[in-house]
A and B are shown apart, each in its own frame.
Chain A
Amino acid sequence: MGNKADELVNAIAEMDEGKAIDLANQMLAEGIDPLEVLRLCRVAMNIVGERFEKQEYFLPELMMAGDMLEQIGAIVKPLLMDQAGGEEPETLGTIVLGTVHGDLHDIGKNIVTFMLELNGFKVIDLGIDVPIEKFIDAIEENQPQVVALSGFLTLAFDSMKETVEAIAEAGWRDKVKIMIGGGQIDEQVTNYTGADAFGKNAMEAVSLCNEWIGGAT
C-alpha cells in the first residue's frame, strides 16, 4: 500500500485528476482507513501549497487540487460517518469568515475556507458583501476563536475597519483574534483596520490560526 499512498500524493500534486480519483477509490475498496486517505490528501495539498508559495503553481492549480480533494472528500465522507456513528468529526477550532460589505470578490476567500477546513478547522463562511450585523450574529452564535475578513477593494479597508470596530463594540474584541486578507492588504492596512494580523495567502491564514488556536500541523 505504501506505493499506492505515494502514488496518490503524487497524482494530486501533479494535477492528474483521473488517476487521483481512481487511486482513492481503489484504496478505499481495499479497506484502507478513510482517515488515512484524507491524511494523504492533506499531505498532497501541502505540496501543492508549497509549490504555490514558490510560485511554481498558480491559481488554476490551487483550484484544480481543491476540486480533486472535494471529489475525494465526497467519496470518503459517508464512510467516515459510518465509522463515527454519524457524529461530526472533531475540529481544532471555529472560524467565522466572510468578504466585507461592499466587496464581492470571493475567489481568494473560498481558497482560504478550503485550506482552513482541510487543516481541521470548522469554518462558518458567511459569503460576500457581508453586512456588519451578520458578522456579529455569527460570532454570537458560533463563538469562534478567529474572525477572518477578506477584501480586495481599497474601499474594503474602511468596511474592515467598521467591522472590527463593531466587533469591539459588541464586546467581542478580546475574545476573538481577527485576521484580514485579500489582494492589497499589508501591514499598514492591518494597523488601519485594527485587526490583529494579515495573511498574504491561504497558507498564511492556516498558520495564523494554528498559532492562535494552537493546533497541530
Chain B
Amino acid sequence: MKENMVPIQIKVQNCDKIIECYPGENFNEAAQRKGLAIATTCGREGTCKSCAVRIVSGKVPAVTPDEKKLFDDMQLSRGWRRSCKFVPITDCTVHIPRRSLLVQSRHLIVIKKSDQLPPDPLVRSKLIKLEPSEIEGDADWERLLQALNRDETGPPIERIDLWLLRGLSRSLRKLNWDIKVYMRGDEVIGIGPYNSRAYGVAIDLGTTNIVGFLVNLETGEVLSANSTGNPQVSFGGDIMTRLARAARDRDVRKLMQKTVVDEINNIMQELCANEVQADDIVAEMVIAGNTVMHHLLIGLDIEQLGKAPFVPTICQALDIKARDIGLISTPYATVHFPGIIAGFVGSDHTMALLTSLSSLRKELSVIVDIGTNTEISIVDGDRIISISCPSGPALEGGEISFGMSATEGAIEAVQIDGNEITLKTIQNGAPIGLCGSGVLDMVAELYRNGAINHRGRLNITNPKVRSRDDRLEFIIIEELDGIEGQISFSQEDIRAVQLAKAAIRAGIDMLLKEIGRKETALERIIVAGAFGNFLNIKNAIAVGLLPPIPLDRFEQVGNAAGKGARLALVSKKQRLRAHTLAKTTSYLELSGQKAFMTAFIDRINFDYRKQNQIDGLKQSNGMETV
C-alpha cells in the first residue's frame, strides 16, 4: 500500500475531468470534493444505487453480495458499481450517467410583475440629523435615543442591537451625524446614510432545493430570485435518513447545519450582488421549511422528532438574530421562522396555506403539496385540518430505476399509443431518465394501454414488456448510447408509484371522512410544489392520485411556500395571519388509524370501474402537459 500514497487518478470520460482519489477514499466523496456531485439518496449507506457509475476501464472491484441485489448480471458485467462503495486502487476511467449527476448550477427565477406584494413592513426607518457631540455632551446612544423618540408615532424605542452598538460611535461620526435609522419593534437594528435602503430575503428551505428571493422592504418589489440544490443531500436524500444520521452523531449534525448555512450565505450574496449597495442593509429574513430542516438549521434537538409521537421542540414562530445561526453576511438582520403545525407539517406548509387562503373564498378546498412527505390540508370554512402522508420519493423521480431530477434530458411527459411511444424531454435534450411528471405519465399511459392490469401487474404479452432475471420491465428506449444501456420502467417502479398514490389519496379520503363530506363536494383542489406544478392532472386522476372532479376545480400554483414566505416578509398583517393559521390548523395523526390502513390498501389498485371515465378523459389528453 505504501507506494499508493499518491492519489489515484480517475478519468471521468463523459465530463472530461480527472478526479483524484486518496487511498481508501470512495469515488463519490472524491468527486464531490472536485465539485462533481453524484446523487447520494441513501447518504452513502450503500443501499440505494442512486450513485451508480460504470467503470469502463481499469480494475473493476469484485462484486459484493449487496451489489448482486441492486444490479442485474448484465449491469455488473458491464462494470456498474455504487460510487459510494467504490474505493479505487488503480487509475481507471469511469462513466457517470447524467441522471446521477446532481445539477448544482444555480438558476435564476423569472419574476412576474404581478409578484409585487403590498408592503406593510415590520422594519421602519427614520431620517435623523444630530448635532455633532460637544465636549461635555451626553453619550452617543442617549442622544440618538432622544432624537428617535422625540416625535415618533410608532412604539417607543428602547434598545439597540449589541453588534450595532459596538460600532455606533464610529458610524455616527463617519456619516457626519446625518443618518437613516432602521427600527424593528423597540429596537434599533441598522444605521446608514440618508439614501440607503432596507431589503429583505425570503427563503424556502426544502429538503432537495433551496429557493431565495430578495425583496425591497419599502416597496414590496421582488428584485431577484434564485434556486439551488440543498447541499445536505450528501447526508441522505430524504429527511428521515438525515434525521437518523444527525441523531446518531452530534458532529454530523453540526456539519449538516453548517452546510446549509454556508449555502444560504452564498444564495444571499448572489441575490444581493446586483441590487444591494454597500450602504444598504438586509434587515429582515423569513425562512420556511419542513420541521426537520427548521430544527437542523436552528440547532434544536432532533432525536425526538424521528420517533413516534414526533414531538417538535417548538411550534411557535421564532425571531432570531441572523448571526446566532451563523448567517454572518447580515449579522443584524432578524430571521423569522414561521410557526409549525406538527412534527411532519412544517412552516413550509403554513406558508403554502397562507398563500392559498389569501385567494380562497369559503369553498371546500384541499391543498396538497406533493413531495417525499406530502402535506395535505382540508379547508372547510374556518376549520382547517392537516395531515402528512408518507408518499416517498417516487413521484419526484426518486428510487425509480431510471428516475432523475427535473433537469435537461429528463422525460417529463409520455404518451403511448399501441407500439408508439412519444416522449417529451426537458429542454428537448436527449432522454436520459424520467422525472416526476414523466413517472406519473408513464404509469397512467401503461394503464390506459392495457400494459398493466388494474392491479398494476405488467402484461407479459405486451411486445414492449420483457422479463429479465425473472423481473418484468417495460422498455421505453432500447439502447441509449451503448454506454448506459436502455431506459425502462420496472414492475418495482410501478409498485412504488402505486404506494405513493395510495398514500396520498388515502390521506385525502381520511380528511374528507373527518369532516363528513364526499369528494364530489370538493370545490377546489390546490396543487402546490415543484412537482405539482408540472404534473398532468388528467393523469393524476387516471391513476387515482387525485379525486375525479371536474378539471376546472384544480389549480396548480407552483412554489406556494416561497410565495407565502415573501408575504410574511413584507407584511405584518400576513405574518399575523400565518401565526393564527399555524395555531388553529389542527393535525390529524394517521399512524395507528385502522381506517387509514384500509383506505391505503383500497387505493393501491387502479380503479377499473372508472375505466370509462378515464377513457373519456383520454380524448382531450394532448401533450400540453407542461
Contact = CB atoms under 8 A, between A and B. Distances in A.
B472 interface: yes
B243 A154 contact: yes
A54 B308 CA distance: 34
B456 interface: yes
Interface in B81-119: none
Contacts of A106: 597
B591 interface: yes
Contacts of A154: 240-241, 243-244, 306
A60 B456 CA distance: 11
A61 B455 contact: yes
Interface string A64-81: 000000000000000000
B219 to A, nearest CB: 46
Q: Majority SS of interface residues in chain A? A: loop
A129 B307 CA distance: 9
Contacts of A61: 455
Nearest to A15: B455
A44 B137 CA distance: 97
Interface in B218-255: 240-241, 243-244, 247-248
Range of interface residues on A (Cβ < 8 Å): 20 to 34
A63 B601 CA distance: 8
Given A55-B471, A104-B591, A188 B45 contact: yes
A22 B249 CA distance: 58
A106 B602 CA distance: 16
A153 B240 contact: yes
A188 B601 CA distance: 30
A102 interface: yes
Nearest to B242: A154
B612 to A, nearest CB: 22
A82 interface: no
A54 B601 CA distance: 19
Contact of B66 (A55, A104, A187): A187
Contacts of B306: 102, 153-155
Interface in A129-156: 129, 153-155
Interface of A: 54-61, 63, 101-107, 128-129, 153-155, 157-159, 184, 186-188
Given A59-B604, A101-B307, 10 more contacts: A55-B471, A58-B455, A58-B495, A63-B601, A103-B308, A107-B597, A158-B247, A158-B248, A186-B69, A188-B46
15 contacts: A55-B492, A57-B455, A57-B457, A58-B455, A58-B456, A59-B601, A102-B307, A102-B308, A107-B601, A153-B306, A154-B244, A155-B243, A155-B306, A158-B244, A188-B66
Going nearest first, the 10 A-B pairs with the smallest beta carbon separation are: A102-B307, A104-B591, A154-B244, A155-B306, A55-B491, A154-B240, A60-B604, A104-B308, A155-B244, A63-B601
